Amino acid sequence: MYAIIRDRGAQYRVEPGQVLDVALMEAEPGTEITLNEVLLVGGGDEVKVGAPLIANASVVAEVIGAVRGEKIVVFKYRRKKRYRRRTGHRQDYTRLAIKEIRA
pLDDT digits (tens, 9 = 90+) for 74-96: 999 999 999 999 999 999 999 99
pLDDT digits (tens, 9 = 90+) for 1-60: 999 999 999 999 999 999 999 999 999 999 999 999 999 999 888 898 988 999 999 999
Range of the domain at 34: 2-102
Which one, of 30, 28, 21, lies nearest residue 68 by Cα?
Answer: 21
pLDDT in the model for residue 7: 93
Distance CA 62, CA 18 (A): 11
Q: What is the number of structural domains in the chain?
A: 1
